Structure 1
Amino acid sequence: MTSDANDADTRHSAKMAKIKAARDRMMETKTGEKGLVIVHTGPGKGKSSSGFGMILRCIAHGMPCAVVQFIKGAWDTGERRLLSTHFGDLCQFHAMGEGFTWETQDRTRDIAAAQAGWARARDLIRDPAIRFVLLDEINIALRYDYLDIAEVLAFLRDEKPPMTHVCLTGRNAKPELIEAADLVTEMAVVKHPFRAGIKAQAGVEF
């Protein structure tokens, strides 16, 4: 190995040692635990997928969890098949929606479905045995005012058990929800095959 390569390795090791020391000091101050309110929003793909990734993490840790789907109730999705068939003992799955609002074209039905989903979600969140609840696409129901954002926020603030995590997905999250949440991720769209005429495909979108 040349002296230049040795010097580069030495500089790299020193740099990484400093980063590790700084990281260790930072981690020493992060000792708190709490149940988080998590929001996945934005126009990009991956909001629900990320939520289901956390559901699988909970299952791997033996943590009871639950899913309430507010929109995609009629879809035969891969995640619904997997969780219902193989992990029903750890994960409850409730598909409460009837499809996107432009499919039903019936505001009264959409509101009724959203209200039923929220009632189920409240029961699941109140259960202290359930550690994580995914409210999939609830942000769409909130966006169209099928649910009262003030009621949802008050419930999460006042009735959610202290160690329960709740994840709310869907584009156009209300500003009040973003402000109240502990963790917010906005998915940006850079490129999507739909724009090139490619339909939603199994294993990628559902």
Structure 2
Amino acid sequence: MKSDTPFELNSDREIERLIDEVMSSTLTDLTDEQYRKKMQRRKEVQDQRIAQAVPEKGLIIVNTGNGKGKTTAALGMVLRSLGHGYKVAIVQFIKGSWEPSEKQVFSLWEDQIEFHAMGEGFTWETQDRDRDLDKASAAWAKSLEYIRNPDFQLVLLDEINIALKMAYLQVDEVLAGLAQKPPNKHVILTGRGAPAALIERADLVTEMTLIKHPFRDQGVKAQPGIEF
């Protein structure tokens, strides 16, 4: 059967090559007709890529890296989910010794969201490994409740990667827990130092790269609305 499109894309690599080809020219140097044709080809590529996409599925999403914005990006997905009327659960593995401002905001959706700040601050503040282990274990037990619960569309495990990096939790234990999620549930895991096995299992991984930071480079302390 002849395709309705002028070309067929047989691999992700070919799709990426065509996208690069379409976008490679400096658009300001094109005539109006050249611009129209280039954007038309870009649309053809994108439309076929969408047509070849698999049905929707629940994703395991990892935000990691040394740069700022891992939790912030995850909270953006939380807001989107709330906007769709979904139920969301947030479990924070490190925060807890202070009241996160996002918890106050999300109280506006108290019928849709469950929020648990179960840590006691950064590890250098607690200085008690056994207590840190107990807190991480309790946070993971609470997380499993929401991972298994089909009523919640999105679960955010904030800073769980740090708990894994510090060996407060075992990677195999977390992977086994993620395997118990319903097919359409999304789970976001944030924090620097995500282990390789988790990255391998995830569907979407973003690494935040640190280029400049006001505390490191200028000695500017954490500020409300930016860090907390």
Asked whether the two chains share a fold, i.e. TM above 0.5, the reply is: yes
SS class of match (2:95)? coil
TM-score normalised by length of structure 2: 0.85
Residue 206 of structure 2 is aligned with which of 166, 169, 185? Answer: 185
Segments of 5+ residues of structure 1 without an aligned counterpart are none
Aligned-residue Cα RMSD (Å) equals 1.1
Matching of residue 143 in structure 1 with residue 161 in structure 2: no
User: 1:92-111 to 2 correspondence within 5 Å?
Assistant: 92-111=114-133
Q: Give yes or no for the alignment of 1:40 onto 2:54.
A: no
Partner of 1:203: 225
Offset of 1:77 from its aligned partner? 1.9
CA deviations on 1:46-71 (whole Å, 9 max, x unpaired) are 00001111000000000101100000
Identity of aligned residues (%): 53
2:54 to 17, 31, 34: 31
TM-score between both structures, scaled by the size of structure 1:
0.94
CA displacement at 1:175 relative to structure 2 = 0.7
Query: What is the aligned partner in structure 1 of residue 10 from structure 2?
Result: none
**Equivalent residue letter for 1:134:** L
Q: Which residue of structure 2 aligns with residue 127 of structure 1?
A: 149
Residues 1:112 and 2:134 aligned together: yes
Please state whether the residue corresponding to 2:31 is helix, strand or coil.
Answer: helix
Partners of 1:28 and 1:128 in 2: CA distance: 29
How many angstroms apart in 2 are the aligned matches of 1:202 and 1:21?
A: 45
C-alpha distance after superposition, 1:50-106 (max 9, x if no partner): 1111000000000101100000112222211111x2111111001110111110000
Structure 2 counterpart of 1:153, which letter? Answer: L
Higher relative contact order (Cα pairs below 8 Å, separated by 6+ residues): 1
- Corresponding residue pairs, total: 199
Q: Deviations over 1:111-166 (max 9, x none)?
A: 00000000000001111010000000000100011011101101212x11111100
1:65 equivalent in alignment to 2:79: no
